[in-house]
Amino acid sequence: MTDSCTCGCREVYPSRLASMSGWAPSSVPLPITPLEFDMQACSFARGFGRALTDLLGRPVSVAVRNRCGALDILLTRGTGHRPEARDHHYPGDFDELWRSRIGPATADNLRFFAAADATAVPDAMADLLRDVVDRMTKVTYDHHMLVLPARMALAEFAEFARRLEITASVLDGLGMLAGEQNATTRMAVRLWQVRHERRLPALPQEGDGYGLAHPRWLEEDAVPRALAALYRRVEPTREPRRLLAHSAERRRRLESRANARLRRLPSSAQERFGTLLARAKSAAQVTEGHAPLMHAQVTYALRGLVLRLGARLVGLGLLNAADDAFQLRIGDLGRASGSDYRQTVEHRRRHTHLPAPETKPPSDPPSDFLGDSPAAGLMRRVFGEPPQRADRQALTGHPGAPGRSRGRIRRVLLQADLARVEPGDVVFAGDSSAAWSFAAPAAAALLADTGSPYGHLAALARDYSLPCVVGLGAASWLHDGELVEVDGDAGTVAPVRDIP
């Protein structure tokens, strides 16, 4: 089964944006259902394409396809109206943009998703879901118009500081932004505080933001209870606030060193450094601050809407279970009111779980869709390939956070997998989202198949002083229980064959 669309609450990107030629696997490691494809993947393609077009000042086309549950993405040079190029520093104040425009607009759409009437007949359901896709396209556009410039601001600051030798490395520049409490770190702090309580508060609504087809923490609390039990086994020295304090102390040392070097530079360089640092600090806060609303709560509301529609179809005798609705497509609902969808669901459940027909998507000729603007240069840094190394004994990725550590691999794809994490594990995620924040206090290191030093997981690792490597693209290399050594400065992960 292969569906395509040229039109997520979860962050979806090609695995390699800047060097991509032809179809590429997305950063989503889980099978995507047909209705998730129609509601999220297609709205992602439209919203992401419009954001890239506006940021780069040149038309960009984004296509997505579903290969038996595997989501692939194709970016090409678009045609038609050439927009006016945006200043790549846009916006000047990320927090103001979030508070005054993007946050309120997202909250309005969230209220619509939560309150939408699910008592309609199938034809009207199709119209409702098309409206949802249009709204999610706007949410996705706003998300990328906030997060992409924010990550570009992080890259611009870190590269400027390294180039002028104000800091020794990009990671040192990014370390000057670490150790501050934000929306992501506060979730782990709150869970640590209530780990001994018999009744957990409603913090899962902030922490849970994965895929529409999977139960939310507000529906079943087994995962947060397992995480609270994990925190009870973690050494008190790993308490999140202590880890943040350690990171803040390192930040102050880096600031002191940078200030000493900065005084030897011309006043113009000092002023530029101050401007970029202020913008990067604002960007670092908003890249984490948007997640509870744009990822967790919007996803929860969309899942609730689909389940309400599914329950209505069960009541009409057209489905066996409410969550069977995820196996439908919007077009199915619009074709014939009163159709029995049960055979369609059974067929798609069988085929969605088949292996994707190709190990790698077929490659088409390279497409230079980024161009040569200042924004394009920064975007290449944010989404570029990790550096290549000759060491064949180690996997290489992007250095995400400094330090070296050993531990056993614990693969996690769903947040439910966090219940299997043990203190001292090297947590290896399929993507680099903020969803893994709860594992950090127990982890020896953090790894991800995808991502860059400017993404959620790397920032989280720097906040907790954990070694981190992202962009490994190594899902088939590392297995649960394998003992590895992680070098966050070098961006390498090496198997440990002889245990000392």
Sketch the domain layout of the chain as residue ranges: 2-149+291-360+369-380, 382-495
Task: Report the SS3 class of residue 23.
Answer: coil
Q: What is the pLDDT of residue 402?
A: 97
Q: How far apart are the C-alpha atoms of 211 and 5, rounded to whole Å?
A: 19
Rounded Cα distance between 173 and 258, Å, is 9
Find, among 278, 256, 279, 285, the residue nearest to 166 by Cα.
256
Tell me: the pLDDT tens digits for 245-281? 999 999 999 999 999 999 999 999 999 999 999 999 9
Query: Are the CB atoms for 472 and 426 separated by under 8 Å?
Result: no
Residue 7: its pLDDT value, please? 40
Element (H, E) at 62: strand 60-67
Closest C-alpha among 405, 498, 478, 394 to residue 443: 405
C-alpha pair distances (Å), 479 with each of 6, 76, 409, 469, 495: 35, 35, 6, 16, 11
pLDDT value, residue 17: 52
pLDDT score at 80: 66
The whole-model pTM stands at 0.88
> What is the per-residue pLDDT for 162?
96
Q: State pLDDT tens for residues 300-324.
A: 899 999 999 999 999 999 999 999 9
Residues of the chain with pLDDT under 50: 1-2, 6-11, 15, 18-21, 88-89, 204, 206, 356-366, 390
Give the burial class of 474: count Cβ atoms within 10 A of its Cβ; 0-12 exposed, 13-18 middle, 19 or more buried. middle
The residue count for the chain: 500
DSSP 415: G
Max CA distance (Å), the chain? 76
Q: 225: buried, middle or exposed (CB in 10 Å: 19+, 13-18, 0-12)?
A: middle
pLDDT of residue 361: 46
Smallest Cα–Cα separation from 411: which of 431, 381, 396, 441? 431
How far, in Å, CA of 467 to CA of 486, rounded?
Answer: 7
Amino acid 210: pLDDT: 56
User: Beta strands 404-412 and 395-396: pairing type?
Assistant: unpaired
3-class secondary structure, 301 = helix
For residue 360, how many other CB atoms are within 10 A of its CB? 11
- pLDDT at site 89: 45
**2/415 Cα distance (integer angstroms):** 27
Helix extents (H) in 164-297 = 170-175, 183-193, 204-207, 222-233, 240-262, 267-289, 291
The pLDDT mean for the chain works out to: 83
CATH topology of domain 382-495: Glucose Oxidase; domain 1 (3.50.30)
